[in-house]
Amino acid sequence: MAKTIGIGLIGLGTVGSGVVQLLRNAPSAMRRRKNVGFELRGIAVRDVGRQRSVDFDHSLLTADGMAVVDDPGVEMVVELTGASPAVEWVRAALKKGKDVVTANKAMLADYGEELYELALENGADLMFEASVAGGIPIIRSLRNGLVANRVESLYGILNGTTNYILTQMTRGAGDYADILELAQEKGFAEPDPTMDVSGMDAAQKLSILCRIAFHSGSTGSQIFCEGIEKIERRDIEYAGELGYVIKLLAIAKKRGDRVEARVHPAMVPADSLLANIHDEFNAIEVVGSAVGEQVFYGRGAGQMPTASAVVSDMVYLAERKMAGAGPAIGDMVLGSDAVSIGDIAESEIRYFLRMQVLDRPGVMEQIAHVLAVEGISIASVIQKERDLQGGSVPLVIDTHEAREQGMQRAVRAINDLEVVEDEVHLIRMEEL
């Protein structure tokens, strides 16, 4: 006999409405395939009087999220607000032993350790498939499908907004500011796009993936993060000349007893898989010790892909409850063997350097000397003809692998040279 689980929904925005729609449209399929059903017992929203695009019982509405959590008829809390009180609602639900499903990456990045431990202590579960890459099942794949593997590296395009902007710039559709405005008009970027374009959204997602893949307890703020705001059309053009495409990459690799984790624009080979992930799509490339390279690709955001991930978590938890299984959250709780995040200063990376220099003899010699002092070897140089409006020329250098701290010292020294007119523009390179 199918069991019906009482659901308390906090948040009825884009994703929450999608969840309600899926629950309404697919109950028979879920009962037939999984022997499980769900009943909405309460819905917390900011504005009770607001018109909604989805049909539901309006008597379930309340403006009090804690009232939904405290409702004895609610067995599972689904938190989809991203609002600041979210962690309080989730804490309260877990303390009551109620399972929680969330898409709140920021909350997990900052409070994950506390919440996972709280869930385990109270015999509850906390699921979060929708927190990273929308409808792409990367969380469950890492936790379950690849559990027999030692993850060696993870490269991801985890933010659809930045990927859309960089894709359009690569296609020659305009400069950064123009494309950002277009993305906002199309709904691919928020009115305030800071979290996306700064790379922080991707860093929060990467911190969640690092916990699963590498047993690392980092927060989003502990991961090196650099955004796309300074990427110019000429960077895109030079990258093309060198056979590369610029993407905002989330990168994690095991390096000895630490994890190298960073988010930043990166030049990747034009024929690589990640170079050919376009527009708002996401992709994650995982290398496992047993399976080798695995690629996960799809829409990383959007109403129905994200709602699909939320409902999949709900069904998974309902099945476990029906089977009498204990919490599955134990693998997210780190012990004394937690792996720390290494300082990017110690990372060995290839670099692209762009600068505007005076067109006179000996300039290249001065710059090469600075790089040589730091043990940095030049791979190639591109120098364009003099700008007719001035006496300077653009100079582009790409290097062999060098240590980040040495490169940063070199950049500061090059900026101090009298022959360099503007600050050096640096983009890291990944061969994948």
Active site amino acids: 205
d(Cα 192, Cα 4) in Å, to the nearest integer? 40
Nearest to 340 by CA among 250, 209, 211, 204: 211
Q: Which residues of 351-387 are buried (b: 16+ CB within 10 A; e: fewer)?
A: bbbbbbbbeeeebeeebeebbeebebeeeeeeeeeee
CA distances from residue 406 to 251, 343, 345, 347, 412 in whole angstroms, order as listed: 20, 13, 8, 10, 10
Q: Phi-psi bin for 262: left (phi > 0), alpha (psi -120 to 50), beta?
A: beta
- CB-based contact 210:252 (threshold 8 Å): yes
214 CB-near residues (< 8 Å, 6+ apart): 151, 252, 254, 259, 339
d(Cα 217, Cα 345) in Å, to the nearest integer? 20
- Copy the structure tokens of residue 82: 């991203």
CA angle 350, 213, 194 (to 5 degrees): 65
CA trace torsion 85, 87, 93, 99 (10° rounding): 130
261 CB-near residues (< 8 Å, 6+ apart): 206, 207, 210, 216, 218, 223, 224, 251, 252, 341, 342
- Copy the structure tokens of residue 313: 């978590």
Could you count the other beta carbons within 10 Å of the beta carbon of residue 280? Answer: 23
- CB-based contact 212:201 (threshold 8 Å): no
d(Cα 24, Cα 62) in Å, to the nearest integer? 20
Counting DSSP H helices and E strands in the chain, the numbers are 14, 18
341 CB-near residues (< 8 Å, 6+ apart): 210, 216, 218, 222, 223, 258, 259, 260, 261
Nearest to 5 by CA among 33, 21, 27: 27
**Hey, which residues does 216 pair with through a beta bridge?**
339
Residue position matching structure tokens 């395009």: 157
Q: Please give the radius of gyration of the chain, using alpha carbons only, rounded to the nearest integer.
A: 24
